Amino acid sequence: MTATPDKDVLSHHSTLPRRFNLLSYNIQVGVDTCRYREYVTKGWKHVLPHRERMVNLNRMSAMLSQFDMVSLQEVDAGSLRSGFVDITEYLAQRAGFPHWYRQINRNIGVIARHSNGFLSRFCPSRITHHKLPGGPGRGAMLFEFGTHQEALLLCSAHLALGRRARGKQLEFLSELLEDRPHVVLMGDLNAGCEAQEIQRFIRAHDMSEPACDQPTFPSWRPVKKFDHILVSRKLDIIRSKVLDYPLSDHLPVSMELQLPDSARHIA
């Protein structure tokens, strides 16, 4: 298993296959929520350890093992509430991923270490971590698979709840992704496809989101599309769908992609 510091360039990166599949999942720190009132009745599970969390994580890992790259939101990097288990590392080991990466966005010491996570079967050539503007506790990780301009650039992010903050964060990400023809943005964007800030981003980077009509939140009766995989139109989407897998308060969204030859790394 490999984890990364805040910024790294890797010498032994992988050649991407022509086809691979992606998953984005807000796992709510392994808390199983089935109705709104459980935000109150099960609220203690967000701050204290409990046996059901590990049962849920084990069930999640079986599903995650079917994918090649996974973006995780609402993860804990090892604190009291997770029984001092780094959830990203744990899921990587259980699901058989050789590479895993985490980004701690809000560190409350022993109490909680709020994080984003990323699992991959392929080793990126470069990883950068970015704190997002618009308030504390939000971040993005960028993964480059190749060292040339047309190589795949994948961004895993968790955006803010407020529209103004989200707009600032998407503008920040736009600068990082500018002039790259093969881009993926995946994560919990906390807004639907119809949101103005999401539409501006999609237009600016000539992207598509084929699962816009499939809501992801709340998982027990989804009505809102918070979880996205946005993809440059130069990348071929084989299929995309939201999975009926309600172990969190969000449903996961999946996609199978096919890369053009120009986007694949030539070792």
Backbone angles phi, psi at 107, to 5 degrees: -105, 110
What mean pLDDT is reported for the chain? 89
Residue type, 237: I
What are the pLDDT digits (tens) for 118-175? Answer: 999 999 999 999 999 987 889 999 999 998 889 999 999 999 999 999 999 999 999 9
pLDDT digits (tens, 9 = 90+) for 195-212: 999 999 999 999 999 989
What is the mean predicted confidence (pLDDT) over 218-237? 96
- pLDDT for 4 equals 47
The pLDDT score that the predictor gives to residue 6 is: 43
Confidence of residue 41 (pLDDT cuts 50, 70, 90): low
User: What domains are there in the chain, each with its CATH number?
Assistant: 18-260 (3.60.10.10)
Q: Hunting for tokens 């709104």 — which residue is that?
A: 36
Residue 94: how many other CB atoms lie within 10 Å: 15
Report the pLDDT value the prediction gives residue 10, as an integer from 0 to 100: 52
Q: Mean per-residue pLDDT for 232-239?
A: 95
217 is written with which tokens? Answer: 């939140």
Distance CA 186, CA 159 (A): 11
pLDDT at 259: 94
* Between residues 253 and 53, the one the model is more confident about: 253
Query: pTM, whole model, 2 decimals?
Result: 0.91
pLDDT tens digits, one per residue of 103-115:
999 888 778 898 9
Burial (Cβ within 10 Å: 0-12, 13-18, ≥19) of residue 2: middle
Burial class, 13, CB count within 10 angstroms (exposed 0-12 / middle 13-18 / buried 19+): buried
Q: How many CB atoms lie within 10 A of CB 260?
A: 13
